[in-house]
Structure 1
């Protein structure tokens, strides 16, 4: 099918239906700023996705990362490391993020796509639309089995490039942050809840959590934003005069994963080359004893989930 372009005068969105219906770029036209992250190995990942180069990894996480170009994925029916559920092996970050989606309609401002999953009995009907400076994704999850199905559902928009350079700040509607207990965090021990953005262990902190460190400072963070007063998050680059705001369905996704990699991780595949922030509306925490999804699709029924991203021009230096 090839890539789809949706656009208005205020936003341009590129979608790849052949690989997860992922959003590869999200551009503010007046500045030309693409707020999406691109991996250091994006050129090779493009070759792998197009079948021009073989995957060399023998596990699902490695295969996923070899094809990871950056951008925005939907993690369904599983998010995180591979595991077996109801006899099916759920690969890293789920089947939908790598599946080929079928396009049924496409105009300048809207695309409709669908995908039938194999690891769970779900069919997904998706509408992606742009209006003004906002892109909206609405997924209808239809259960075709005579039993209820519980699934992970996580939106995985990763931001990077020039958008993270300069004066950058994060704002969220959450009151607390819980570092992931299975992931090395350079600043905080896991499995504890910290007030956002103030942390109760100041001697371990190098900066406020809501302030993005300048280029050259190495840090990593992974965990769950919880206790939302309202389901929203915003990253603002005052230097570039651009902000992105996420709003989502709090009933379906009461959590948001926070992943920050600032040239910290020494091993494969990062080798201290990435600078990225992802704020990921989610049906589940990243880990811990409460790591169970709240999203259940009843037998022969459906659930509708919506998320919106608004790309805003603000007063800035540029």
Structure 2
């Protein structure tokens, strides 16, 4: 990480701090309303998104906390656990493989491989009381990809702006899965919270249940959002966050009129609004783990929900997404840009 050892100190307006967390380089972007911690040493993860007036962190942190990926567990080799062993929750960048381990054109990828497990270079590119910004860059190791993202926070605004550039540095066309693995949990998420989406969404269930406890949504589809056939009959309201112990589930939302969703507490109106360029990431993965998985990796301790803008589905990996035509196609020596914004909703009508 590029440190600014003689950077002027400031404790008002927008500011940025360089810290170490669990032995990993990290940057903290902060203003009067938000504190956002970004792990340069691990995937460029956003491990904190705290709304300061309510001391409310929207991202979930796992019971095991943050672990340095170099601190490898003593168990056997496992291409799924390589992600989960150092998964702290939060918000990850996923590229070029989404979900399960997969082989693509001779390259073998682990779960959510590969940039989520790599250290990123970081530099502070704006440092004023009115605005701060940091730029993170990484090169994948098994595909000729370079990804750069700038995270920007302005004074007085409860919104983080992310601007990205993905480059294919080779002379051959490539398929990639590209996504933002955004996960909500305690202290924010509770049963009864509402998911708001723009019109046009269709629900495509994952082909099989993801846990032994069965599933909530009937196989088949696509169905119209939000009321879908239940696996045991009747209907399931997918726009209402289920209670503790509900079956684990993952579905894919397609056909969105725009890239936008909101997760809101109906009692007080506090929530988070995420917007993005849906021409680049046209799908939205909805993952819910409400405590039904009593074996590895959750052991009944997770009550979480992921709402993840993505290019490509299902979670069976890049080969499957390339095969069904949902992966993002990068032409030779081409670059794709993306923007994502995450802002706090503080009360109804905000």
**Secondary structure class of the residue paired with 2:49:** strand
Q: Tell me, yes or no, if structure 1 residue 155 matches structure 2 residue 180.
A: yes
**Secondary structure class of the residue paired with 1:164:** coil
CA–CA separation in structure 1 for the residues paired with 2:133 and 2:150: 7
Using the TM superposition, give the Cα deviation of residue 105 of structure 1 relative to its aligned residue in structure 2, in angstroms.
2.1
> Which residue does 1:3 correspond to in 2?
26
> Which residue does 1:30 correspond to in 2?
53
CA–CA separation in structure 2 for the residues paired with 1:271 and 1:80: 20
1:250 equivalent among 260, 274, 278: 278
> Which residue does 1:83 correspond to in 2?
102
Are the counterparts in 1 of residues 96 and 177 from structure 2 also a CA contact under 8 Å? yes
**Secondary structure class of the residue paired with 1:59:** coil
Aligned pair in 2 of structure 1 residues 190, 29: CA closer, same or farther (>3 Å)?
same
Tell me which moved more, 151-160 or 263-272: 263-272
Using the TM superposition, give the Cα deviation of residue 149 of structure 1 relative to its aligned residue in structure 2, in angstroms.
1.7
For residues 188-245 of structure 1, the C-alpha deviation after alignment (integer angstroms, 9 at most, x for no partner) is 233421211112458635752111134x442322010111122211100133542111
**Secondary structure class of the residue paired with 2:53:** coil
CA–CA separation in structure 2 for the residues paired with 1:205 and 1:74: 36
Q: Tell me, yes or no, if structure 1 residue 225 matches structure 2 residue 225.
A: no
Q: Tell me, yes or no, if structure 1 residue 275 matches structure 2 residue 300.
A: no
Are the counterparts in 1 of residues 42 and 117 from structure 2 also a CA contact under 8 Å? yes
CA–CA separation in structure 2 for the residues paired with 1:312 and 1:12: 15
> Which residue does 1:204 correspond to in 2?
233
**Secondary structure class of the residue paired with 1:63:** helix
In structure 2, stretches of 5+ residues that fail to align are 2-24
Computed over aligned residues only, the root mean square deviation of the Cα atoms, in angstroms, reads: 2.2
CA–CA separation in structure 2 for the residues paired with 1:202 and 1:181: 12
Total equivalences in the alignment? 311
> Which residue does 1:180 correspond to in 2?
206
Using the TM superposition, give the Cα deviation of residue 55 of structure 1 relative to its aligned residue in structure 2, in angstroms.
4.9
TM-score by length of 1: 0.90
CA–CA separation in structure 2 for the residues paired with 1:7 and 1:175: 34
